[in-house]
Structure 1
């Protein structure tokens, strides 16, 4: 689920992971005009007539006014009817709802993006709860798997081993010059689906794929070779990171997305001291889960340090979440993080991570190797550790069995269960299973969306621990403050800001996350808190500090409303 690059006037677009916030500065003036303030529809060259209608950034379809049709040579190229953007939106939503297959809805949305960008984002912003499962998980997983077959038009940048030695020149081929965010992937670990090579949308670093099905697929669009590793891989990534900073400056945010564990941790560790980098799978997931945990304390009682956490899965998501929980506990209790880590236990494919296994563990697992006798299975680990919180980041569907959930419910009045693996098929358990097996006592959140569940006459609304709560606001907070390095305290600030937006009404439904319909407001508040922490820590370079950071964040956000062309 990688992404396009974001310029100053455009939304920070993750083609599938939807970001709905906009740039801080506007290079060409396109987004600085209000809806009733006329602008000229050009960036570098004048667009008019047939070419204007084929330009997705400026096309308005049947919303062009009589005056605009005369001024821009559109007479006769459109039917005589004039439709408002709102009426266009209503028609398209009616059409989308006719599709019964989610992938067809996805393709229809991508078609719309390719012909009318503003209408695409208006649709998405106004109907985010209905359309997010289409352009994000779970449908995006199927789209990535079948991308070679449904590929029509490139929407971003592909950098393969063929471009080694020429990456800086390749970046210059991108039409925008003021780039603020780059979301990049090498496609090796897409959701819980594994290596999807070049099929996870740009910006893609294509070093090949080890997926035999793709290598034998006549429609595959990437390099047909096994994945490059070692020095060849490292040199291409180094060239990319160097070229990014040379082309776009010190403040460009590089968001790593869906890299496999063995590269994700190394890349984050290597480039954090020299670049503004953020790994969504390690840090974004951690921040959104911590936000849900902080919010859940209103229902569970106590502080974070009063709880015991057990993870199934010890990869980048699991260890990233665990570390952020430990940091937040350390911040609250003033205890060393080495001490707070002892409240957190991880289970990997070989069983509970304990000190006797330390010599054979990957480096990112070693901080979680505590003193305990070896335990092989999850159920035995649950019975032994007796956690109050069970978190799944394993990518293994249905691994929270009936016995596991019943065990959690046997010693917790309100067991907190996070089944975070995506897509839906990989979720550790369903919402219905969690509520049913716990006799309606579980507090449940998942990575993929689940419908409300009725149990014993009561309706339970499951929460979705979705990274889209965090990365739009987090990225905007970094950009609007001119932050040049990501600090863990910024992630804690984002988590706390997210938790603070859960209302009493949400809690009454059993929700520990605010509704996605408020994502713009949520993102603005997170951006403001992240920026405030950046200013407090001396990491911000955009001076003077705005007086009202929430208001400033809202003013930076992209507006999808049509502009009037003179």
Structure 2
């Protein structure tokens, strides 16, 4: 154990074996119970006189801090309040978060965390995670050792280089906050143990001139390093982190589109790794698509799918839908012809300027030669919708308002229940508002969005707007991988996760949401984890046999309650 404490799980319960005393106990958020310490524990741990006299239960603590939380004047103030609580008492933080997950998820995760990241250097308080910078690659090993964690102590590492943060772009070292927020969701939604996770930021510089010219900026103060030196830094990090924590799932977060695909493809067949922006986003959107298809009584093979924003997320969605089509017996060459992707330059066309990961979805030039266009030589979204008559329209473009009334009405004129998904975050980046889409389609559209939206009342029907939030899927993927000790994360495991989420939606009445409510996150994560572990077993990727997966996944989920105390 460390010199201060260890938490051991035995006979179905957690025990905190505490060696430190006095204020050292109160300063450690994993073993600080605050006013919940009993009189006997206070005496044994040297806390006599360091706390008010009353002994307060965890439930009473939750009521008190939740009342304080509700009095905070803004979302950013609420974020800072919760962060301070996490720094002080981790169990209390996760109990409050778990009990109020639907209300608090937009605070500790998207969209509020974007504001916190932008203010990171100015609001800096207690550092969390590991900071690695490209000017000191030889320090990676020492930094990981400084975490105090050994080879068997970490199940999950979330890492970012902060270049593609939440639609706000390059945020330099401040991106570490997204890794902390992501891990908070893993813990609250899937019960990954908070003592067995590690947030990491790879500080490779920043091209954000506002940050470089800010005297308070805390990152390395130069432009982003790219090319061979960047790749060598990533290679060294992967080698060091997998050597130090050989059992851990490595989760890549908010890398720029080109690097995200390249890094995932470089390492996915060598280590247990996963990119949430590519695979998690794809999983939850595909879940919504599968639920919508079930509602509209159509087949996936019959869909014409337009993706406006064929970047990291958009192409990831296309690939997962393509894989599911193929698994259903559709010829791959035929299936790929069901997709039309648009980048900032318009429709992806063979021979045009394409990134490597976009090329499979480029359309033949002779196919579009006879199209009716608004502007000769330009193949924009309105042109694609007019000529293709899509049944599914997905927006991952971060271009607000691009699903115009004309485009939506044109689409709706050719399909009974158009599936329309303006997914860009935050709300100000959404391609359309759900209320507008429903009005323009007479309530016929099946909708999922990236940000949370209030229900819409139209023609005596209340429409619940599904939020395609990655939190519905990535925590369960992590839990499933950890539970069965999967050696890799395969595309079919992601597909199994998507189908598990879709199958959890049983209400198909008019206006019902296409996705489960966030209040169901714990049960959804468990359902996803079982599906992922079972698929890993079928593919021979599971290194731990689960003979009773439902019970074993449930048992693996950490509960936010104070462990028993053993004073040593």
Unaligned 5+ residue runs, structure 1? 1-6, 8-26
Unaligned 5+ residue runs, structure 2? 177-198, 369-376
Q: In structure 1, what is the Cα distance between the partners aligned to 2:324 and 2:537?
A: 20
Q: Is the 8 A contact 1:313 1:346 kept in 2?
A: yes
**Is the aligned partner of 1:370 residue 2:348?**
no
Q: Is the 8 A contact 2:308 2:395 kept in 1?
A: yes
**Is the aligned partner of 1:338 residue 2:333?**
yes
Q: In structure 2, what is the Cα distance between the partners aligned to 1:330 and 1:40?
A: 50
Q: Is the 8 A contact 1:191 1:421 kept in 2?
A: no
Q: In structure 2, what is the Cα distance between the partners aligned to 1:355 and 1:54?
A: 59
Q: Is the 8 A contact 1:186 1:259 kept in 2?
A: yes
1:213-362 superposed matches below 5 A = 213-249=210-246, 251-332=247-328, 334-357=329-352, 360-362=353-355
Q: In structure 2, what is the Cα distance between the partners aligned to 1:119 and 1:34?
A: 20
Matched residue, 1:184: 159
**Is the aligned partner of 1:418 residue 2:415?**
no
Q: In structure 2, what is the Cα distance between the partners aligned to 1:192 and 1:527?
A: 28
Q: In structure 2, what is the Cα distance between the partners aligned to 1:71 and 1:238?
A: 47
**Is the aligned partner of 1:469 residue 2:468?**
no
Classify 1:548/1:286 alpha carbon distance in 2 versus 1 (closer, same or farther; 3 Å): same
Q: In structure 2, what is the Cα distance between the partners aligned to 1:195 and 1:74?
A: 45
Classify 1:86/1:564 alpha carbon distance in 2 versus 1 (closer, same or farther; 3 Å): same
Per-residue CA deviation, residues 363-419 of structure 1 (Å, 9 max, x unaligned), is 111111123326522112111111111100112222212222222222222211111
Q: Is the 8 A contact 1:443 1:510 kept in 2?
A: no
Matched residue, 2:548: 548
Matched residue, 2:558: 558
Q: In structure 2, what is the Cα distance between the partners aligned to 1:154 and 1:437?
A: 48
Classify 1:40/1:443 alpha carbon distance in 2 versus 1 (closer, same or farther; 3 Å): closer
Matched residue, 2:432: 429
Matched residue, 1:483: 486
Deviation at 1:326, TM superposition (A): 0.6
SS in 2 for 1:73: coil
Q: Is the 8 A contact 2:476 2:529 kept in 1?
A: yes
Q: Is the 8 A contact 2:288 2:468 kept in 1?
A: yes
Moved more, 466-475 or 70-79: 70-79
Matched residue, 1:132: 105
Matched residue, 1:150: 123
Q: Is the 8 A contact 2:461 2:510 kept in 1?
A: no
Per-residue CA deviation, residues 182-227 of structure 1 (Å, 9 max, x unaligned), is 1111000001111111111141100100000111112211111000
Deviation at 1:508, TM superposition (A): 4.8
SS in 2 for 1:365: helix
SS in 2 for 1:490: helix
Deviation at 1:252, TM superposition (A): 2.0
Q: In structure 2, what is the Cα distance between the partners aligned to 1:34 and 1:490?
A: 29
Deviation at 1:285, TM superposition (A): 0.7
Question: In structure 1, which of residues 436, 445, 450 is the aligned counterpart of residue 448 of structure 2?
Answer: 445
Question: In structure 1, which of residues 15, 33, 56 is the aligned counterpart of residue 29 of structure 2?
Answer: 56
Moved more, 308-317 or 159-168: 159-168
Deviation at 1:123, TM superposition (A): 0.8
Q: Is the 8 A contact 1:309 1:344 kept in 2?
A: yes
SS in 2 for 1:390: strand
Deviation at 1:284, TM superposition (A): 0.8
Q: Is the 8 A contact 2:421 2:447 kept in 1?
A: yes
Which structure has more relative contact order (CA 8 Å, sep 6+)? It is: 1
SS in 2 for 1:78: coil
Q: In structure 2, what is the Cα distance between the partners aligned to 1:429 and 1:145?
A: 25
Matched residue, 1:12: none
Q: Is the 8 A contact 1:41 1:58 kept in 2?
A: no
Per-residue CA deviation, residues 325-379 of structure 1 (Å, 9 max, x unaligned), is 01101111x233232111011111121112353xx32111111112332652211
Q: Is the 8 A contact 1:184 1:256 kept in 2?
A: yes
Deviation at 1:564, TM superposition (A): 3.0
Question: In structure 1, which of residues 401, 406, 410 is the aligned counterpart of residue 404 of structure 2?
Answer: 401
1:513-532 superposed matches below 5 A = 513-532=515-534
Deviation at 1:503, TM superposition (A): 1.9
SS in 2 for 1:183: strand
Q: Is the 8 A contact 2:463 2:510 kept in 1?
A: no
Q: In structure 2, what is the Cα distance between the partners aligned to 1:561 and 1:34?
A: 13
RMSD: 1.8
SS in 2 for 1:394: coil
Q: In structure 2, what is the Cα distance between the partners aligned to 1:397 and 1:553?
A: 40
Deviation at 1:257, TM superposition (A): 0.6
Matched residue, 1:30: 8
Q: Is the 8 A contact 1:163 1:170 kept in 2?
A: no
